[in-house]
Amino acid sequence: MQLFLDTTDTAVLKDLAATGLVDGVTTNPTLIAKSGRPMAEVIAEICGLVEGPVSAEVAAMDVEGMLAEGRKLAAIATNVVVKVPLTRNGLIATSEFAVEGIQTNVTLCFSASQALLAAKAGASYISPFIGRLDDHGAVGMDLIGEIRAIYDNYGFDTEILAASIRTPAHVTAAALAGADCATIPPATFEALFKHPLTDKGLEQFMADWAKTGQSIL
């Protein structure tokens, strides 16, 4: 499963990308606003830090506006993926982007039927929002399994990008459910490395090694 970082913090991104484990980046209007920088500048810098897909979201709600904005965003770099909302207009725009060879990430998906429509429209990625479904009493991870079954039934190429991921357990569950990718906050990415038993075991190993008085070099 590919791991994307959901961030516009380029300093954090640069640090975590150095692990070699970051496959792409997602952004949204909220993250762009928090950056306090021009959107095109932020997206261009991120695209220079990672080779994988970088999602940049349109702000227009009408089809022509989405198409104009999407084309402009796609021109920033070859790895830009145009992010559009899962609305009727968003899927019309997605269909046109597919014809033009522009990759898309259809976002704010909350049902399997929405995901079916996005795949039929030619979306490159579908972003089901797991955590937000959990917040409303549903089991968000069930949606990943439903989408996976539908896409496999019909051979859709659209990749499932699990979003609104809150914890390492969410990442594991998304992988088990068959998600192709997960986009996660930097703090959650960092947490994936950690387990108390790893820390405890390493502490013991280092203490025992020190007692030997040896040096490998």
Contact criterion met (CB below 8 Å) for 162 and 125? no
Per the annotation, the verdict on 72 as an active-site residue is no
Neighbouring C-alpha atoms within 13 Å toward the C-beta of 27: 30
β-partners of residue 163 are 129
| C-alpha angle 37-38-42 in degrees, rounded to nearest 5 | 75
Instruction: Report the alpha-carbon distance of residue 34 to residue 180 in Å, rounded.
Output: 28
Q: At 159, which amino acid appears? A: E
CB-neighbour burial class of residue 150 (10 A; exposed 0-12, middle 13-18, buried 19+):
middle
* Structure-token match 């080779």, residue found: 51
- Which among 14, 34, 72, 83 is annotated as catalytic? 83
Q: Hey, which residues are catalytic here? A: 83
